[in-house]
Structure 1
């Protein structure tokens, strides 16, 4: 995963592991309680996550596909918006 706005060597003497991340997720309210924050954190390959904030947002719409054998209960598609703030 390459984070937009961060380029190797962009700050001399500072490594990616020294990055400090704050994450804000716009999630539909009905899904917020089922969100696995630790799983979200696990997708960031470097840096220290200082905070994950979940706010009302995102979208639930139809995907047009309902696959019962995969455990789907409907054809809902869930969209979450993410903002990642990067600092050192």
Structure 2
């Protein structure tokens, strides 16, 4: 996810490099731009790297469990099949 602090740094650099007469306009623009960017990024429904890693581990464990259950079902089906013969 994009770091809001980085967005603030970029906006500040732009403001610092503007002539004094334009700085008040730039400050308003900085605040509005920051608000718009943060709102749009929040709407994009990103997940953090930490959440992604957690969900990846959950998926790995789920796949392992599914594989174990599939093997057990196969064994039970084979056992049931041999008992019916």
Determine which structure has the larger helix proportion and give its number: 2
Q: Which has the larger radius of gyration?
A: 2
For Structure 1 versus Structure 2, the TM-score category normalised by the shorter chain is: under 0.3
Determine which structure has the larger strand proportion and give its number: 1
TM-score, normalization: structure 2? 0.26
TM-score, normalization: structure 1? 0.25
